[in-house]
Amino acid sequence: MSASDRSPTIRTVRCPACGGASRYAVDNPWRPFCSERCKNMDFGAWSSEQYRVATPPTAGDESDEPSVLASDSQQPAKH
């Protein structure tokens, strides 16, 4: 049997949104999602920031600390 005689194997994967079966094939325009609805639900979650990619804090991200302004740290002028 030659390579052209073999039919392509259709993979079934788990839909990332609903967990149902999804055809991972060229004829599924929403792959890896099972439907347009699941694809749009996932896109909506990303666009409304329900999903976030964790990053380590940087030195300037200490939002829990109260900010000290330069004028607050100076002593009052004596007259």
pLDDT tens readout for residues 28-79 = 999 999 999 999 999 999 888 888 888 888 876 656 555 555 555 555 555 5
Q: How far apart are CA 62 and CA 59, in angstroms?
A: 7
**Does residue 4 surpass a pLDDT of 80?**
no
What pLDDT score was predicted for residue 55?
85
The answer to whether the beta carbons of residues 30 and 39 sit under 8 Å apart is: yes
Query: Per the structure block, which two tokens stand in for 13?
Result: 């994967």
Determine contact, residues 39/23, Cβ cutoff 8 Å.
no
CATH architecture of 11-47: 2-Layer Sandwich (3.30)
Give the Cα separation of 18 and 31 in Å (integer).
13
1 pLDDT band (50/70/90 cuts)?
low
**Which tokens belong to 65?**
């600390």
